[in-house]
Chains A and B, each alone.
Chain A
Amino acid sequence: MHPALSVIFFTTATGAGYGFLALLGIFGASGLLPSDRWMGLSGLIVALGLITTGLLSSTFHLGHPERAWRAFTQWRSSWLSREGVASVLTYIPALLLGVGWVVFQDVSGFWAVMGVLAAVLSWLTVACTAMIYRSLRPIHQWHNDFTVPSYIVLSLMSGAVLMSALTKLFSIDNGYIQGLTVITLAIGWALKSAYWNFNKKSKGLPTVNSAIGVDAGRVNVLEAPHTSDNYLLKEMGFKVARKHAERLRLLSHVMGFALPLLFSLIALFTTGATAVIASVLAWALCSLGILVERWLFFAEAKHSVTLYYGEQTV
């Protein structure tokens, strides 16, 4: 599949934003974060900023952005529509949490409920995003049981590294936050490695024989229907060279998981400037690594229409 930059940015930015918002809600509500105004303000600005720019960038690839409101209407059948509805609903408890935290410097009682609600809706939104891909049967690399857990864990993970960097910047040494960062990085790494392994081995059910309804014999393309690229090939026929993909995967292993894990462990056991630098480095590297991971998620996905253009299996 064509790795469109707007969609890659959208999924990574909203993933981190919702993961971070959820942790702000949960840690805020449970009193593990100070109810100090500046803590709440900076946290919510970062979280909602990421979410909002991500959502806006997703409208860039639309043919008719001015009709985007129509996408809220089909929540009964469409995961894309559900995602839209959930994303907008999340703003309500998130902004109310902001009122409590920033205006009243209070994250207990009603405001705490809003924090928990914001977290639940954030996770729901990320799950809906994942389900958009999970539900597409023509794309075996998405239509499998790794997609939803990966999106949720990676969202939590990028939220946690962000939270870790922010709290260290506020000179808060919270073992739970640092511990969660390390744990989510480890789970995320394991999950993504398992997914890449699955991708290497597993193929979708259709073959070129079932695609054209002729069972016997090997099928080769004799002549293509058109002499230059068309929409199908540009959108669904994207092919990444194996060598290129392996290099990017290594980059993703190192920048997305290994180094952030190392720096998070350093941040866990240190304080002061070392801890600040380590946690900020963990966040910066992880963000870049996840962008590469997301690029691969699209670029390595094979659509069944490519069976008509020379692929034997997908």
Chain B
Amino acid sequence: MTSLPPETQKKLGLVIDLDTCVGCHACATNCKEWNTGGHSAPLTDVNPYSRDPDGVWFNRIHSFEIDRGANGVGMTVNFPRSCLHCEKAACVTVCPTGASYKRAEDGIVLVNDEKCIGCKLCSWACPYGAREFDVTKGVMKKCTLCIDRIYNENLDEIDRQPACVITCPVGARHFGDLGDPGSEVSKLVVARHGRDLMPEMGYKPTNKYLPPRPRKLDPALLGAPLELKPRKTKKGEKILAWVDNLLSR
């Protein structure tokens, strides 16, 4: 059934810190590694070792440069992009077959690969490009929030988190219930002014992004001179320079 549940018991999702993400792609790599054997397996690659490799990924890491104009310093923002498990997920409602659905218990958006006809309409309906078509299997694939990890009783409790969260070397990714105002992730969102992506689209994404903390915009405040000036050499230094010159012959 591709109608959305009016309310979900939990809103499981990710909080991603754009201030600390270093763009290392570890989350994307571990996602690929886990999920190619997981719920939506396989994450097929086409021509992986030759010209024009292509393949299905649930998570892609972009790097942007923010140009603040003449007075400010530039800034790099590394930006991991994956499914936001939206509350108003039109990717679900457009699906003609019932293959796409949003779970009433935890809000996770999934694709049933036995029902999907591969019409691709859901990927058109997602503003964020979170769905990727698997050409070899003829079905749509997307992030499952690692449902086969987070509920997996064979794993230690501490490992019941999405692969990307577990692997991030700088702790830029957080997982939890964003529907519970008392949860760690919800508190983090409040403290760091977490944001929705493209709120004007009205999809009400569950995942939140923490914007980069304000930078010191004046280079002088960082202790760096605005321009480098030649320094006058003192007398004693000349002798040292002569010795240095002699020894490095």
Contacts and interface: CB of A to CB of B under 8 A. Distances in A.
Given A63-B117, A236-B129, A222 B96 contact: no
A305 B129 contact: yes
Nearest to A59: B117
A220 interface: yes
B4 to A, nearest CB: 8
Interface in B107-137: 115-121, 123-129, 132-135, 137
B20 interface: no
B97 A70 contact: yes
Interface residues of A, number: 58
Given A214-B18, A222-B65, A74 B97 contact: yes
Most buried by B among A78, A137, A217, A221: A78
B198 A210 contact: yes
A74 B97 CA distance: 6
Interface in A212-246: 212-232, 235-236
B69 A71 contact: no
A211 interface: yes
B118 A63 contact: yes
Contacts of B209: 212-213
A7 to B, nearest CB: 10
B1 A74 contact: yes
Contacts of B129: 232, 236, 303, 305, 308
8 contacts: A76-B1, A76-B3, A84-B96, A137-B201, A215-B211, A217-B68, A218-B69, A232-B129
Given A77-B94, A135-B94, 13 more contacts: A67-B115, A77-B92, A77-B93, A80-B96, A132-B94, A137-B127, A211-B197, A213-B195, A214-B64, A232-B123, A236-B124, A236-B129, A308-B129
Interface of B: 1-3, 18, 23, 25, 28, 52-57, 60-69, 72, 75-77, 79, 81, 90, 92-99, 115-121, 123-129, 132-135, 137-140, 195-203, 209, 211-212
